[in-house]
Amino acid sequence: MSEDQSTTTSSRRRVLEIDALTLQFGGLTALDDVTFHIEEGEILGLIGPNGAGKTTCFNAITGIYRPTRGDIRFEGTSIAGHKRFQITQLGVARTFQNIRLFRSMTALENVLVGADAKHSTGMASALFRLPKHRREEREGHDRAMELLAFMGLQKRADELAANLSYGDQRRLEIARAMATEPKLICLDEPAAGFNPAEKAQLMELIRRVRDQGYTVLLIEHDMKLVMGVTDRIVVLEFGRKIAEGTPAEIRDNPAVIAAYLGVDEEDAS
């Protein structure tokens, strides 16, 4: 039923297709036959109660876990079983629920590491300052400063990541992910720990990220937020997909309301 809805919403190109994805750890099934896709240029929300398998799903997409069954296709080619750095180089980037920056590197260097994903400077180029090194360094630096400015962090460029405020660290993580020039950017609860005003700002920011041409996959707890920013929503519960559709459809879906026991329903209305 949900399949129909999604196919009707648009006929845009599918960036990512999750196909009957199943993940088992020992006897535990973390994801059970989950199927959904993300279209180019949309913001897809992935929601569900705690332990529903959202982050596990992220981990499978970014290559941390290998699917037990099923397939993950990025722009039509299967990436299940690819190495993590290869998936990133193909064009999938992510942030982390609990911030994981390179703490003793500066903000700028953090973003540069992301930009380096598309570079190939090796020992020889660096050692002899070959044109390739100089070109990539200049491009990477320009792009990184641009992204820091976009996040409002250019003044903090030379500050150690560890010394940034909590909100700046969250934004820096997004900048670092964007620097890898991904087609799909996966944000894992980017608003965690924010107050309502900051959350609203962040949602605005996410929209602007999308407007720059990125496709966004967003995990978020706060229903209000998700409803406000996403084009479509996929709902997981106990590792299964229980609903998929536009925010309005999800809001009225009885299965979703049941899963959230009405608590987040209040938030959403």
Q: Find out whether 225 and 40 touch, Cβ atoms under 8 Å.
A: no
Among 180, 215, 230, 253, binds another protein (CB under 8 A): 180
Number of residues that bind another protein (CB under 8 A): 53
CB of 121 to another protein, least distance (A): 4
Task: Select the span of 7-15, 18-26, 90-98, 219-227 touching another protein (CB under 8 A).
Answer: 90-98
Report the C-alpha dihedral over residues 137, 139, 145, 150, rounded to 10 degrees: -150
Q: Which is nearer to another protein, 126 or 248 (CB)?
A: 126
Among 9, 19, 96, 249, binds another protein (CB under 8 A): 96
Q: Determine, following the binding rule CB under 8 A, whether residue 197 of this chain makes contact with another protein.
A: no
Residue whose C-alpha is closest to residue 113's, from 159, 64, 209, 180: 180
Among 12, 13, 66, 83, binds another protein (CB under 8 A): 83
Task: Select the span of 30-38, 47-55, 154-162, 223-231 touching another protein (CB under 8 A).
Answer: 154-162
Among 5, 22, 35, 89, binds another protein (CB under 8 A): 89
Distance CA 153, CA 164 (A): 10
Q: Which is nearer to another protein, 117 or 229 (CB)?
A: 117
Q: Determine, following the binding rule CB under 8 A, whether residue 66 of this chain makes contact with another protein.
A: no
Among 81, 122, 193, 196, binds another protein (CB under 8 A): 122
Q: Determine, following the binding rule CB under 8 A, whether residue 12 of this chain makes contact with another protein.
A: no
Q: Determine, following the binding rule CB under 8 A, whether residue 78 of this chain makes contact with another protein.
A: no
3-state secondary structure the chain: CHHHHHHHHCCCCEEEEEEEEEEEECCEEEEEEEEEEEECCCEEEEECCCCCCHHHHHHHHCCCCCCCEEEEEECCEECCCCCHHHHHHHCEEECCCCCCCCCCCEHHHHHHHHHHHHCCCCHHHHHCCCHHHHHHHHHHHHHHHHHHHHCCCHHHCCCEHHHCCHHHHHHHHHHHHHHCCCCEEEEECCCCCCCHHHHHHHHHHHHHHHHCCCEEEEECCCHHHHHHHCCEEEEEECCEEEEEECHHHHHCCHHHHHHHCCHHHHHHC
Task: Select the span of 14-22, 48-56, 113-121, 254-262 touching another protein (CB under 8 A).
Answer: 113-121
Among 29, 113, 238, 257, binds another protein (CB under 8 A): 113
Q: Determine, following the binding rule CB under 8 A, whether residue 127 of this chain makes contact with another protein.
A: yes
Residues at the site binding another protein, with contacts judged by CB under 8 A = 62-64, 83-85, 88-89, 93-94, 96, 100-106, 109, 112-114, 116-119, 121-123, 125-127, 129, 133, 136-137, 140, 146, 149-150, 152, 154-160, 163, 176-177, 180, 208
